[in-house]
Amino acid sequence: MYRHCKNKFEKCKDVTWDDVMKKLSYEFSIGSHKFIAESPNIPPSFVMHTNKFPGTLFDAFEELRVKENAMDMHVYMSLGGNSSTFGRHKDGNNVLIVQAIGKIHYAFDDGNVVTLKPGDSLLIKKGTYHNPIVSGPRVTLSASVP
């Protein structure tokens, strides 16, 4: 089960590459990032987990916290199309996906594919299988919500 909303999150659309790179640099320095790479020929993705959010990322997290009671926020970043992801998976909690930069597609087992552009969101209920498909450089925000 999932719900797609278009253009709901204004602050999330304001996220800058500069602030994402500051976050990535910080996470590299403390070793908290995840690096997802399927093979040397497929661009990697990075997942950033800490609650340190520079500038526009802080504003985006506050928007998610206030509007959706977000408990945390992970930042996913890919630099190329067809970048590595976690593939088809399900989560143990409700997840709110909000697109910040670029676009991403989510395929579901019912055959539907949802495309997210900056400011769009996708609420995925726990236990729902989904597969992120990266089409180019992107930054995607992911938050656990009640």
Dump pLDDT digits (tens) for 82-113: 999 989 999 999 999 999 999 999 999 999 99
Structure confidence at residue 78 (pLDDT): 96
Give 2-44 pLDDT, tens digit per residue: 999 999 999 999 999 999 999 999 999 999 989 899 888 889 9
Q: Give the pLDDT score at 70.
A: 97
Q: Are 36 and 47 in contact (CB under 8 A)?
A: yes
- Element at 122 (helix H, strand E): strand 121-124
Give, in order, the Cα–Cα distances in Å from 146 to each of 65, 68, 71, 108, 129: 11, 8, 8, 21, 18
| Per-residue pLDDT, 40 | 86
- What's this model's pTM, rounded to 2 decimal places? 0.95
